[in-house]
Amino acid sequence: MKHTRAANSTILTDNMNDRLLKRYNHLTDVSLKDYSTFKIGGTAKYLFQPLSLFEFTGLIQELEEDRIPYHIIGRGSNILFADEMKTKCIIVTSSLNQIGTRENKIIAECGAPLRSVCYTCLKDNLSGMEGLSGIPGTVGGAVYMNAGAYGFSVDRLLSTVEVFNRKDFSFETLDNRECRFSYRNSIFMDSDLLILRATFVLERKETANEIEILMSDFERRRAEKQPLDFPSAGSVFKKPHDNFYPAKVIQELGLKGFTVGGAGVSEKHSGFIINRKNASSEDVRMLIEHVREKVIEKTGIFLQTEIKYMD
């Protein structure tokens, strides 16, 4: 889950209120390379790791009231952090990871790894999430961007989302329709609604055999096709429409293996940019722009990124 509140701030995070630092679990001067699957990023002056949803929403409310800029992240699996961070307050949801099942439903907190949710489904013979098992993000991030793979997607499975409204500090529950899902998009990308917990409706099977076979097959496909041996943030570019595959066009342009500094277009899958050797954030951004320019020259289409830049 990723959300930014940095505009129109009147208080710098360097002047963080002492009561916040005393009340909430945090670290100081933390390298964000350790919180990004890209292994790229500068230093966070304050890194908060709330231990409960109550603590999470309490922290958010106090930051909002004091107008302190912050970023929220899950596992940092589709984030590119700046080499020098302007926003010094980062909130990590990794401790908000409770998962439970009820009949044919699974309920998971925003920081729960999607992989853990899928394996809980496997344990309880619940089918429907098999294709999502290799996505290295959290439930919050998956709902936020309507994650999907191999024909499986969040919008086809989600029943309700419990949210915290950062405008009036209220709690709400949205149904699937109210989330306004579309391809790699949702209402959460442009609103004050913060994802807390999600409920998915699945199909219960008599045994887990079929579920396990499907999950193993999808995970094998990922290992064969994706550059999992290098740090990356997953697929870089969104499909502009159903019949346009960015990786195919990038490959046709001869850009496989093209590098800028320590960043490179993967030779295994041209839809990925990898951290080949101590890449900087600027290396990755320059490479993205180079690929975009070449694609525009060939097709006239501007590619939007799935990766989110945070500074």
Would residue 19 show up in a list of annotated catalytic residues for this protein? no
Among candidate residues 156, 180, 184, 204, the one labeled active-site is 184
Would residue 184 show up in a list of annotated catalytic residues for this protein? yes
Taking the C-alpha atoms of residue 110 and residue 6, their distance in angstroms, rounded to an integer, is 21
Would residue 306 show up in a list of annotated catalytic residues for this protein? yes
Among candidate residues 77, 186, 235, 281, the one labeled active-site is 235
Among candidate residues 109, 130, 162, 306, the one labeled active-site is 306
Q: Catalytic positions, please?
A: 184, 235, 306
